[in-house]
Structure 1
């Protein structure tokens, strides 16, 4: 397993686009937009905090995670299936399932690393505080990340070709990011959009990150939605995944 992890990690690092969108893009957006004076002002509705203290770090973290889960990982797995790598490995003592596990572990490690760098640089450069509810933040991060990667495995399972995988992920990613409040505050959205978003994992994940960053416990409903997504999407991916 360690050899597979090493090889897959080297292959991952040879794809600069993955690191660019998962790590550098959220970081550049956080530091660039966070430096604007309008986002440095205290907002009474946020208890005197700045927008960059709660909204920006959680949304940029979410952007990195969903990019990895919805585009990078599905594209890699679909490519392996289309090129026959999974089929050939399934006939050897090194089962193809280990390759899937290695891919999942690598993407999770990159997600954690990117989120850590984002948090540390936000604190060092923009004086953004650390999450005020660390335990709730950790639980939300684990459940939210698991829900996104479960959906990513489902995307890889249903993608007919390697080229289709990132396309499907992108088509799903932008609407989900929109209703999560990435570009427009959820409070200003129509009620129907907010209600739809409440039952999809991305909006609850983003809300849980914002809540715990501000020092509040995550809403139990948000945690339930994320956990249910892990079970439903993960189960569907396991049933639908094709080795060839």
Structure 2
């Protein structure tokens, strides 16, 4: 079939994004963990009294303020690795992608629609989490808004690219879920979910700097504190986005 002309690629991307968004909301379990779970987790953590008490070890800040970027990163990881990848691989398993192969839709447009949908929806979750932190637990909003937006978008794009790479090579939805879960836990460890980056030794912190979530959480924390993210962390996020995105497009299979 002929490819979609460049002039009509944008409208095709928009229409496909709208369609994919409608299909996404037909999966209540994925919707819950991708969109609702992070704000709920933030509320649960914030209700723990010790999380709201100023800590001299944190420069007088609170633990809940430290965990806001981590929870936001967790939401992105769950969306990308346990939601987007599994949903996309299931399309292939059920023959949806095989039928789409008979249309002029390019793989890049299909992958782009998934990334655009996931990015827009995850931004909503991020904003809700920031507002919960600000008005429920007195967590300051990011002081460098532009840097925060840049860091967030790079984290999102890098994780969604990884999620689509998993979906592109996984033979089934269950396989994609298993691969995504195996990838999720080490990434969250280096993001500081169990051991904050400040408490890691030099070796673990260096490894964390070169993971998408380790670099991403630090970039968000820097922006929250009023600083621009370190060039290393931005370069790491951009590198993961390009590498995983190119591999996802290369190994994309309709069936």
Quick one: distance in 2 between partners of 1:28 and 1:181? 19
CA contact (8 A) 1:199 1:225 kept: yes
Cα distance in 2 for partners of 1:20, 1:239 equals: 31
Name the CA distance, whole Å, in 1 between partners of 2:223 and 2:132: 19
Taking structure 1 as the reference length, the TM-score comes to 0.93
2:226 matched to which residue of 1?
215
Identify the match of residue 137 of structure 2 among 126, 131, 143. 126
Moved over 4 A (4+): 94-97
- Aligned-partner Cα distance in 1 for 2:16–2:234: 33
How far off its partner does 1:95 sit?
A: 4.6
- Give the structure 2 partner of residue 235 of structure 1: 246
The partner residue of 2:40 within 11, 14, 28 is 28
Distance across 1 between alignment mates of 2:28 and 2:120: 16
The separation in 1 between residues aligned to 2:199 and 2:68, in whole angstroms, is: 20
Matching residue of 1:63: 74
Tell me the CA shift for residue 116 of structure 1. Answer: 0.9
Q: Which residue of 2 aligns with 1:177?
A: 188
Per the alignment, residue 177 of structure 2 pairs with 166
Q: SS state of the match for residue 48, structure 1?
A: coil
Indicate if the aligned counterparts of 1:77 and 1:100 stay in contact, CA closer than 8 A. no
Q: Distance in 1 between matches of 2:245 and 2:64?
A: 33
In the alignment, is the contact (CA less than 8 A) between 2:190 and 2:211 conserved in 1? Answer: no
Q: Which residue of 2 aligns with 1:42?
A: 54
Correspondence for 1:206: 217
Checking the alignment, whether the CA contact within 8 Å between 1:34 and 1:56 is kept in structure 2 is no
- Retained in 1: the 8 A contact 2:219–2:230? yes
CA RMSD of aligned residues (A): 1.7
CA distance in 2 between counterparts of 1:131 and 1:207 reads 13
Conserved 8 A contact 1:89-1:95: no
Deviations 1:79-99 (CA, angstroms, capped at 9, x unpaired):
111222212212124455443
Q: 1:186: Cα distance to partner?
A: 2.1
The corresponding residue for 1:102 is 113
Question: 2:241 & 2:15 partners in 1: Cα distance?
Answer: 28
> CA separation in 2, counterparts of 1:233 and 1:31?
33
Does the 8 Å CA contact 1:205/1:222 hold for their aligned counterparts?
Answer: yes
C-alpha distance in 2 between matches for 1:233 and 1:98: 16
* Whole-angstrom distance in 2 between the partners of 1:40 and 1:161: 43
Q: Could you say which residue in structure 1 is the equivalent of 2:9?
A: none
Compared with structure 1, are the counterparts of its residues 125 and 12 closer, same or farther at alpha carbon in structure 2 (3 Å cutoff)?
A: same
Measure, in 1, the Cα distance between the counterparts of 2:172 and 2:205.
33
Matches within 5 A, 1:74-113: 74-95=85-106, 97-113=108-124
Which runs of structure 2 are paired with 1:124-163 in the superposition (5 Å)? 124-163=135-174
Q: How far off is 1:103 after superposition?
A: 2.2
Unaligned runs of at least 5 residues, structure 1: none
The residue that corresponds to 2:30 in the other structure is 18
Tell me the number of residue pairs that the alignment of Structure 1 and Structure 2 aligns.
243
Mapped partners of 1:51, 1:132: distance in 2: 18
